[in-house]
């Protein structure tokens, strides 16, 4: 038992656990052309302050998005035109939800919560690529965490201080 505690302490001390502090997606992989339920996990507030807003920007190719309401949070979507037309159930889709905002709630720093949305991964997205869902987390007192960094070529998410949650695209099934 003591060995496990010391091992865990060593991991924390040497930085092997920072990814737990980031906003992440519950499932990090999904097939191109499938419906995907994105569960954004918010593990903490900002420097000890409660989270009062979570805003997510949807990546191009994640279409027909619908957020799940949360009790005591106000839900708002921002719609706009897609960069190109996509086919969904035999019809062309040219616009849809591009941002989802949950505001007005209160998530204390000592608790975690999940914010959920679903949508379709366009059938022409390239398998093997990663789609990123940049998230801005606002907290009491004006504190803000921006989980918006996207790795450049040759970089890994582990190289970033505030990485956006990423979804690896698998081949169509």
> Whole-angstrom Cα distance, residue 166 to residue 151?
10
Q: What is the pLDDT of residue 51?
A: 98
> Whole-angstrom Cα distance, residue 136 to residue 139?
10
| DSSP-assigned letter for residue 18 | G
DSSP element (H, E) containing 59 = none
Q: What is the pLDDT of residue 163?
A: 95
Instruction: Tell me the pLDDT of the chain (173 aa) as tens digits.
Output: 434 333 443 333 333 333 447 899 999 999 999 999 999 999 999 999 999 999 999 999 999 999 999 999 999 999 999 999 999 999 999 999 999 999 999 999 999 999 999 999 999 999 999 999 999 999 999 999 999 999 998 888 888 999 999 999 999 98
Phi and psi of 108, rounded to 5°? -60, 150
Structure pTM?
0.86
Q: What is the pLDDT of residue 94?
A: 98
Domains in the chain, CATH or no CATH each: 20-170 (2.60.40.2230)
Question: Which candidate, 14, 18, 49, 4, places its Cα nearest to that of 139?
Answer: 49
Phi and psi of 4, rounded to 5°? -65, -40
Give the CA count within 13 Å in the CB-facing half-sphere of 37. Answer: 5
């Amino acid at each position: 038992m003591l060995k496990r505690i010391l091992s865990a302490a060593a991991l924390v001390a040497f930085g092997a656990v920072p990814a737990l502090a980031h906003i992440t997606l519950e499932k990090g992989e999904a097939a191109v052309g499938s419906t995907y339920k994105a569960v954004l996990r918010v593990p903490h507030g900002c420097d000890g302050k409660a989270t009062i807003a979570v805003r997510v920007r949807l990546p191009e190719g994640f279409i027909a998005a619908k957020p799940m309401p949360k009790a005591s949070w106000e839900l708002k979507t921002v719609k706009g035109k897609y960069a190109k037309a996509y086919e969904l159930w035999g019809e062309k889709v040219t616009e849809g939800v591009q941002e989802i905002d949950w505001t007005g709630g209160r998530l204390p720093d000592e608790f975690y919560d999940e914010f959920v949305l679903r949508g379709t991964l366009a059938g022409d997205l390239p398998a093997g690529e990663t789609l990123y869902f940049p998230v801005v987390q606002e907290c009491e007192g004006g504190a803000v965490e921006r989980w918006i960094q996207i790795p450049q070529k040759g970089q890994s998410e582990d190289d970033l201080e505030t990485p956006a949650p990423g979804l690896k695209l698998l081949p169509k099934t």
